[in-house]
Chain A
Amino acid sequence: MMIRSATQDDLAAIGDLWQSLVEHHMALDAAMPRPAADGAARYADRLANMLNDPYAQALVAEVDGRVVGYVTALIAEMRAEMFAEERAGLIADIYVHPSFRGAGIGRALLGALNDWFRLRGAAYVEWYVASRNEAARGFWQRVGGRDVMVRMRLDLDQDA
């Protein structure tokens, strides 16, 4: 298994993994957003714009020449102006193909990403996990993530 920066040649494979990620979320919670018909291609286009951005990172995990996992991330000022400024790392998406889970690929992606965050002066890392994604929440707790914020949702047309 090898962790490396994503290239233009990886974009289609990452788009397919993103599609699987979204379908997994929809299976967990029907209220999660549905992908557009060409969602994977749009995602790949978005990623292409990130590849030359010094404040963005996309890493892939490759096994026997196949991209089986990826992570995308940004450096950002996360706090509102009323808090002291701190540079943070924000994980946008992370996904490992189900057939390759349990082999430490998620941890390896995260370890390489944290090295990149440190180089860019991030003081901490944040990421969002769907509440119903128990497996992912378990993973983040095992790697030392503290649950610091919850997002609540109210559908006003159902609440009336």
Chain B
Amino acid sequence: MASLMIADWRQADFAELYDRWLELEALRQQVHQRAGAVANRQTFVARLRLLADDPGCVGAAWRAGDTWAGALVAQAAGSSASLALLILDLHASHSAAGRREMFNWLTAALRAKGVRTLMVALSRPLAVEEAMWLALGTRTDHHTYQVTL
């Protein structure tokens, strides 16, 4: 099993996180049989740099062996926070431990900031992803419906 390391997300290689995000997005599109526009690497990395400059952003990145395998980042505003970045290697054997450790890091950092509520928006969620959040103690709050005109 690859060794796990959790670090402040700002230490992660953003370009490498893009590869993980792309894999997850491809899986979503495959499962939901829907093609959609995806960001290129440059745009994605630029967005992460913007988030990294925001002092309200807290989060953890997860390194498995020599690969940045995931990141969990929330943007706090007053007493609530929203998940700003979710990148997970859902099918790796070491995923569950990495997820739990990243989540514990994130919630501890949010509590230290005085945040009382975390909101997590999951776009076209995969069943395994939704189950993961339920296992971490979150509850389903709202559904977003969409109709193409």
Query: Interface residues of B, CB < 8 Å — how many?
Result: 38
In A67-87, the 8 Å CB interface with B consists of 80-84
Inter-chain contact B111/A131, CB cutoff 8 Å: no
User: Which among B36-44, B53-61, B63-71, B93-101 touches the partner chain?
Assistant: B36-44
Question: At the interface, is chain B mostly helix, strand, loop or mixed?
Answer: mixed
* Interface residue from A123, A130, A152 paired with B120 (Cβ < 8 Å): A152
Please give me the residue from chain B that is nearest to A125 by CB atom.
B147
* Residue B91 lies at the interface, judged by CB distance under 8 Å to chain A: no
Inter-chain contact A114/B149, CB cutoff 8 Å: yes
Can you sample 18 A-B contacts with CB below 8 Å? A82-B39, A83-B38, A83-B39, A124-B149, A125-B146, A126-B146, A130-B142, A143-B147, A145-B147, A146-B145, A146-B147, A148-B145, A149-B123, A151-B119, A154-B107, A156-B107, A156-B110, A159-B107
* Residue B78 lies at the interface, judged by CB distance under 8 Å to chain A: no
* Interface residue from B47, B111, B134, B143 paired with A156 (Cβ < 8 Å): B111
Please give me the residue from chain B that is nearest to A110 by CB atom.
B147
Bound Cα distance A123, B149 (Å): 6
- A residues in contact with B107, CB < 8 Å: 154, 156, 159
Q: Quick one: given A83-B39, A131-B141, are A148 and B47 in contact (CB under 8 Å)?
A: no
- A residues in contact with B123, CB < 8 Å: 148-149
* Residue A26 lies at the interface, judged by CB distance under 8 Å to chain B: no
